[in-house]
Structure 1
Amino acid sequence: MITVQTSVNAKIEKVWEFWTTPKHIQRWNNPTDDWHTPAVENDVKAGGKFKYTIATKDGTISFDYEGIYTKVDKFLVIEYQLVDNRTGSVQFESQGDKVIIIEIFEPEKAHPASEQKEFCQGVIDNFKKYAEAN
């Protein structure tokens, strides 16, 4: 399993909204400025589906990150299963005006785990930057 985390200086209500709302996801869901998320579908409930199209801005790489939510406990945890059956979770630990976000997921086999961790840490760090600036 791979674990990434960050601490966001914002209240849990804002963090949850920015983490789950498509218009916000499109603005933060990229590891670097070379990437973007041009399309997002997100039905945040147990049994709800999600699909993020993630791509490099120059068009050389594009993939869909998609699956189904297996557990959603608002302001606490989101658990999911991807279309390739890998699983993961995102935990939200509210501490007043700060939220610790911890994402744990099964790596896929096509790319080194270290690359996947770096990519996802970049995404979660970009979320922190976006949430604190907006």
Structure 2
Amino acid sequence: MEITVISLVKASIERVWERWTVPEHIIHWNAASDDWHCPAAVNDLRVGGRFCYTMAACDGSVSFDFEGEYTEVDVHQRICYSLGDGRRVEICFTSTPNGIEVSETFDAENVNSEELQRSGWQSILDRFARYVVE
């Protein structure tokens, strides 16, 4: 099953792309809630390149690495990657009269409910949109 989340970002595609792909920016928005953060990010944005984002509870109780390998990179348009468990993710950046629509479509995992996955990914995407315009 695929899940899609979407957010509208009121900024230029250049700004949106930079904030999405540069580790120094990723660490500021890549968390689903205020009690989590992303203390480290590595991103080799090219086909065959890898990324690794450390996701950690702010109280230090738990952390994990979210990582994958890029399968497609079309600058300012689309990024596709696969996760270690084989799931696929596609991110599309679409210009609209009101800004850049960022959509993420991902293969659902089978541990958490569809709603929990959707709300978590949507929350991260919404935090991204707020960060870009700050």
| TM-score above 0.5, yes or no | yes
Q: Return the alpha-carbon distance in structure 2 between the equivalents of residues 11 and 128 of structure 1.
A: 12
Give CA deviations for 1:81-121 in whole Å, capped at 9, x if unaligned.
00111001000002356100000001111111211111110
Query: Aligned with 1:7: secondary structure?
Result: strand
User: SS of the residue aligned with 1:130?
Assistant: helix
Asked if the contact 1:11–1:97 (Cα under 8 Å) also holds between the matched residues in 2, the reply is: no
1:99 aligns to 2:106 (yes or no): no
Percent of residue pairs identical: 43
Is 1:32 the equivalent of 2:33? yes
- Cα RMSD over matched residues? 1.0
Moved over 2 A (4+): none
Secondary structure of the 1:80 match is strand
TM-score, with normalisation over the residues of structure 2? 0.95
Residue type of the partner of 2:118? K
Q: Aligned with 1:31: secondary structure?
A: coil
- Tell me the number of residue pairs that the alignment of Structure 1 and Structure 2 aligns: 133
Structure 1: stretches of 5+ with no match in the other structure = none
| 1:63 aligned onto 2:64 | yes
- Residue type of the alignment partner of 2:46: K
Normalising to structure 1: TM-score of the pair? 0.95
